Structure 1
Amino acid sequence: MTIKHLSLLALILGFQGYAQQLSSVVLDSATKKPIPYVTVRLNNKGMITNEEGRFTFRLDGSIKETDSLFLSCIGYASLGKPINEFTENVIYLPAKAIELNPVIVTNKKYTPKEIIEEVEKNLVKNYHQGYSKKRLFLRQTFRNNIIKTDYTLKKSTIDAFNKKFLDSVIRTVPKSSTFYTEILGDLYGASDSEEQKLDLIKASELYDKSRELDYDKLEEKFNKIIKANVKTDSYFKIKSGIFGTKIDSLELGITEVDSTDAVALQKELEKKKKNEENRKKFFSKYQRETLGNLYGNLPIFEDTDYNVLFKPGRYDLILENFTYVGDDAVYVIGFKPKRSEEFQGRIFVNSDDFAVIRMDFENVEPLRKFKLLGVSLNEYLARGSIIFSKGDNEKYHLRYYNIEKGNRIGFKRPVKIIEKNKNVKGRRKQNELSLKVDAAFGSTNRYELVVFDLDPINSGTYEAFKENNNLLPTYMPNYDPTFWAGYDIIEPNKAIKEFTSQVELGD
């Protein structure tokens, strides 16, 4: 028997207990193009394919070659068969032909609005909204770029703060950067976005430190100039037009700790320890709040931004098509706002139980946009997909949430930094730096959340769980395929797999 005739399981298991995982790519059988967001199930565990159609499943000791792998996706025929019958690392799904399903033929002929009303009526019956423990994986991608950094130096009474120096500072600021954060954990909670608890299991950060602003070196440059030209008891007035802010010189960090002063040194060490503790708490808190915000904005909750289920009268609804998930008939309803609502898209509704199994959405106008006194903000992008699937308790729950957000910030204003000192006789004003700034910055943030398992719990279990904030993400300058070995995650895309730092720096 040649290698190509071996089962996929044998190929991926290796020999003598080496890495055990099942990896494959799912393609359209006709077009040979990848199919994203395919639901993959193995022994009641859920996975989802990434935008390139790829998935990886970890195989533990309980998995047998005869256990079946099930794949399902809207518009495609479902596929289910034992693992040992998959003989290639490519899986093809054929499109499902649109036929008159008996469910649709015999059911009442619903209007789009009536279908939405049935969805809203059956939310409690269809979806698990009580306390639960969810094993999940969250990948966050942050891309930042500088669009414009123009300025005019109007006045500087400190020679060192000249155009040459300011240009050198601007050159140190990276024009673009990409930052990935990945976490695996258990989220405890119900439908309240603010009442969530997170048990972090593992986390990573992937980015190029050489493309990050070196605040320490920048601070060192500024401090050297400040110490040579500014009195330690001075304070600074930062003004931009009619606005002003007072900053003491101590706040600029120009004080030093004498290493021979044991008391001062001990205080400094305690401060650093406290900062590290706060950093751990902040990381955990930020991840918990991010997950809470994603969950709280699901379309099955009344306060959601995607409120078509609760306020259908505000939308033009169109029954676009029928499709299938396996043998289940699905209504495809398009929605567009009549007036001031922010999102349009499609919802896919199971015709049997009236559960929303997927929503695709995108904004039709900026979510926030203002321009005042030279400061502007434009949150111009919010688009994504939300997928639900049925669990072991016959209730639907979130399986996958993907959203991409984009914004642009502009600053076009005069800025003055004025040194003042109340202990100097005569004029309090000592030095002044005056600029006219015209800058713009853009960013896109993407959040991918996959929920592998959901276990219902009671309020006592929720109350008894205590968060542990001691875990920080592991920094990686280059993509490391071994970091998540032994854990289920959503398969990284090509950009992540090929990510490398220009210069590898220490942690």
Structure 2
Amino acid sequence: MNIQRNMVFFFLLISYIGLSQRITYTVADSLTKFPIPYANIVLNSNSGVITNEDGNFSLPENERLDNKEIKISCIGYKTKTVLLEEIIDEKILLSPEIVRLSGVTVSNVSLDPIEIVNKAIEHLEDNYAQQHTKSDFFLRQTLNENITKVQTEKLKSNISEFTQVKLDSLTKEIPKTITKYTEVLFDFNEPSGIKSDFILNPIRIVKHEEKNQASALDSIKIDLISLLKKHLPGSTQIRFKSGLFKLGSDIDINGDGPQNDKTDINRDKAINSSGYLGSNFINDLLYNNPDQFDFLKKPKYYEFDLKGEISYGEHSVYVISIVPKDDKAKYEGQIFIDVQDFGIHKLDVNTIAGVSEKMFGLLGIHSTMNGHSYRIYFQKLHNSQGYFPKYARVETKEELRINRNMQIKSLSDNGKEKLVSFEADINILEHYIEEASFGNPNVTKRKENKASNVGKSAVEVIYPKEYSFEIWRDYDIIEPEKTLFNFKKAGKY
């Protein structure tokens, strides 16, 4: 009996080790040996993953034992099917599709590149808005904040313990570099029609961050209120304001809330912010907001160079480079347009080096965009009803400047008493990377939470101590970058 029990234990142990360990593969160009980002990896025709920016993807080690094959596809490359056990050195090479320079005609009428681009614009509604689509939508945001300046001055305080020296010491404790990762799985439901009122319902939210990380303003707010608790009666209610605007809810000094320390988790805030994040991303997709790309709105600022035509699966695609020719031009890159229906299979553009754009400026808050890039892939639906997003990466660099008056007031039946006020001068460099993948339209793999109206109580909000692939088992997501893959919270948590 003991032998049998030990054998069972040994089998379970081996199975667990096989499930927990993963093998990382790299997809690369056969000629240049450069990695190929955002290649689609399909395993046994029913599940898969998408390579990250470094061309990497990983699978559980036990997948290799089952003589399984994978299919790798990426626009501009020949699709390849290989057996996992035959891959050498965990590297898979894809051969580039040859660009055909001849036969660039439709109905025997030669087209120049600007005509092709204009036809793509004309057919946006036909190609992207005729179907009612439902899909899984996975979104990952990486936020890097570099706080370059935090200065407070002109302090006025009715509490003797609150001095400029004390305020300065609090601001010095604010972490100058912050990195946060947010991953969200949504139900995505979009009626037909350009700029339709789509519905996004978060199903699972995973936040990889140190619990003590907060923005500069939040850190000042939390530290000041914690200090106030030591010097105010327990029944005091306070309000934190910036100019005319209230920052957050009024706070009862005796109450429990996010002001108590930086480790409290605000569930509703996580759910609401994830919805805001997902909606902004969808609204930035090409077919919802084409005017944001000035090469489509003002093509006179650009040269469009027709590189030729390639095969992409069952389709032929024009390859057109976008080259600035005017000082007012913002972007450069490539666009891939279908030969038959002028649908856009892929958009790969970025702002020209040195181009900046003021995004917002009002009441002491200024935001400037210092870099933007879009890499968006679309899948052509088999029922010929148009195109649907497959995966996308949007990268944004911004500078945020805040120069505002901050106040803390106590609230009572007798009115409002200003306890503390000061001027805050904060500069933050923000770098966002947002990556998204979409499941097959009208096909849902989930066995749970299928309803289009998901209440907050059904939403999972997870703060893991380290990154785990098990969280997203059975979902086609983009392989994480090394920094997230290696994420672990500090030992004190």
Sort the TM-score into its range (normalised by shorter chain): 0.7 to 0.9
SS in 2 for 1:293: helix
State the distance in 2 between where 1:321 and 1:112 align. 9
The one-character-per-residue Cα deviations of 1:300-333 (angstroms, maximum 9, x if unpaired) are 3466522644x35454231152253457342213
Paired letter, 1:300: Y
Q: Which residue of structure 1 lines up, in the alignment, with residue 390 of structure 2?
A: 399
Question: Structure 1 196/350 Cα, relative in aligned 2: closer, same or farther at 3 Å?
Answer: closer
Q: Which residue of structure 1 lines up, in the alignment, with residue 428 of structure 2?
A: 441
Alpha-carbon offset, residue 161 of structure 1: 0.9
Alpha-carbon offset, residue 202 of structure 1: 3.1
Q: Which residue of structure 2 lines up, in the alignment, with residue 409 of structure 1?
A: 400
Matches within 5 A, 1:1-16: none
Matched, 1:450 2:440: no
For residue 71 of structure 1, the aligned residue among 60, 73, 77 is 73
Alpha-carbon offset, residue 179 of structure 1: 0.9
Question: Structure 1 445/432 Cα, relative in aligned 2: closer, same or farther at 3 Å?
Answer: same
Alpha-carbon offset, residue 403 of structure 1: 0.7
The one-character-per-residue Cα deviations of 1:428-453 (angstroms, maximum 9, x if unpaired) are 99877564543212222221001131
Q: Which residue of structure 1 lines up, in the alignment, with residue 9 of structure 2?
A: none
The one-character-per-residue Cα deviations of 1:197-254 (angstroms, maximum 9, x if unpaired) are 34544331111224444976652212223449xx959x8897x8xx56799xx94533
Query: For the Cα contact (< 8 Å) 2:370–2:398, is it kept in 1?
Result: yes
Query: For the Cα contact (< 8 Å) 2:152–2:425, is it kept in 1?
Result: yes
Matched, 1:482 2:470: yes
Q: Which residue of structure 1 lines up, in the alignment, with residue 97 of structure 2?
A: 96
Matched, 1:130 2:121: no
Question: Structure 1 88/71 Cα, relative in aligned 2: closer, same or farther at 3 Å?
Answer: farther
Q: Which residue of structure 1 lines up, in the alignment, with residue 8 of structure 2?
A: none
SS in 1 for 2:439: strand
Larger radius of gyration: 1
Q: Which residue of structure 1 lines up, in the alignment, with residue 284 of structure 2?
A: 297
Alpha-carbon offset, residue 455 of structure 1: 1.7
Paired letter, 2:131: G
State the distance in 1 between where 2:400 and 2:23 align. 44
Of residues 118-127 and 332-341 in structure 1, the stretch that sits farther from structure 2 once superposed is: 332-341
Unpaired stretches in structure 1, ≥5 consecutive residues: 1-13, 258-267, 270-275, 458-462
Of residues 19-28 and 112-121 in structure 1, the stretch that sits farther from structure 2 once superposed is: 19-28
State the distance in 2 between where 1:27 and 1:161 align. 59
Of residues 157-166 and 43-52 in structure 1, the stretch that sits farther from structure 2 once superposed is: 43-52
Question: Structure 1 104/480 Cα, relative in aligned 2: closer, same or farther at 3 Å?
Answer: same
Unpaired stretches in structure 2, ≥5 consecutive residues: 1-13, 258-263, 445-449
Q: Which residue of structure 1 lines up, in the alignment, with residue 456 of structure 2?
A: 469
TM-score, reference length from structure 1: 0.73
Query: For the Cα contact (< 8 Å) 1:403–1:446, is it kept in 2?
Result: yes
What do you get for the CA RMSD once the two structures are aligned? 4.4
Of residues 125-134 and 470-479 in structure 1, the stretch that sits farther from structure 2 once superposed is: 125-134
The one-character-per-residue Cα deviations of 1:376-414 (angstroms, maximum 9, x if unpaired) are 332333222111122332432111111122222223466
Query: Identity, % of aligned pairs?
Result: 24
Of residues 394-403 and 373-382 in structure 1, the stretch that sits farther from structure 2 once superposed is: 373-382
Query: For the Cα contact (< 8 Å) 1:101–1:329, is it kept in 2?
Result: no
SS in 1 for 2:114: helix
Matched, 1:177 2:178: yes
Q: Which residue of structure 2 lines up, in the alignment, with residue 264 of structure 1?
A: none
Query: For the Cα contact (< 8 Å) 1:368–1:379, is it kept in 2?
Result: yes
State the distance in 2 between where 1:236 and 1:466 align. 35
Q: Which residue of structure 2 lines up, in the alignment, with residue 273 of structure 1?
A: none
Matches within 5 A, 1:153-172: 153=154, 155-172=156-173
Q: Which residue of structure 1 lines up, in the alignment, with residue 261 of structure 2?
A: none
Matches within 5 A, 1:41-60: 41-42=42-43, 43=45, 47-56=49-58
State the distance in 1 between where 2:142 and 2:33 align. 28
Matches within 5 A, 1:113-124: 113-124=114-125
SS in 2 for 1:208: coil
Q: Which residue of structure 2 lines up, in the alignment, with residue 360 of structure 1?
A: 348
Q: Which residue of structure 2 lines up, in the alignment, with residue 499 of structure 1?
A: 487
SS in 2 for 1:209: coil
State the distance in 2 between where 1:199 and 1:60 align. 34
Query: For the Cα contact (< 8 Å) 2:396–2:432, is it kept in 1?
Result: yes
State the distance in 2 between where 1:288 and 1:236 align. 27
Matches within 5 A, 1:353-392: 353-363=341-351, 365-369=355-359, 375-392=365-382
Paired letter, 1:139: R
Question: Structure 1 67/340 Cα, relative in aligned 2: closer, same or farther at 3 Å?
Answer: same
The one-character-per-residue Cα deviations of 1:20-74 (angstroms, maximum 9, x if unpaired) are 988632012233321112233452766432101023468999x985766142332
Q: Which residue of structure 2 lines up, in the alignment, with residue 7 of structure 1?
A: none
Alpha-carbon offset, residue 369 of structure 1: 4.5
SS in 2 for 1:117: helix
Alpha-carbon offset, residue 85 of structure 1: 5.4
Q: Which residue of structure 1 lines up, in the alignment, with residue 304 of structure 2?
A: 318
Q: Which residue of structure 2 lines up, in the alignment, with residue 350 of structure 1?
A: 338
Question: Structure 1 184/64 Cα, relative in aligned 2: closer, same or farther at 3 Å?
Answer: farther
For residue 223 of structure 1, the aligned residue among 216, 225, 229 is 229
The one-character-per-residue Cα deviations of 1:51-105 (angstroms, maximum 9, x if unpaired) are 01023468999x985766142332x333235666546531011333444454569
SS in 2 for 1:487: coil
Matched, 1:197 2:196: no
Higher relative contact order (CA 8 A, sep 6+): 1
State the distance in 2 between where 1:421 and 1:325 align. 72
Question: Structure 1 320/504 Cα, relative in aligned 2: closer, same or farther at 3 Å?
Answer: farther
Query: For the Cα contact (< 8 Å) 1:412–1:439, is it kept in 2?
Result: yes
Query: For the Cα contact (< 8 Å) 1:49–1:490, is it kept in 2?
Result: yes
Question: Structure 1 50/443 Cα, relative in aligned 2: closer, same or farther at 3 Å?
Answer: same
Question: Structure 1 323/102 Cα, relative in aligned 2: closer, same or farther at 3 Å?
Answer: closer
Alpha-carbon offset, residue 114 of structure 1: 0.8
Matches within 5 A, 1:198-347: 198-212=200-214, 213=219, 218-227=224-233, 251-254=250-253, 256=254, 280=267, 282-301=269-288, 304-306=291-293, 308-309=295-296, 311=297, 313=299, 315-322=301-308, 324-326=310-312, 328-334=316-322, 336=324, 343-347=331-335
Of residues 485-494 and 21-30 in structure 1, the stretch that sits farther from structure 2 once superposed is: 21-30
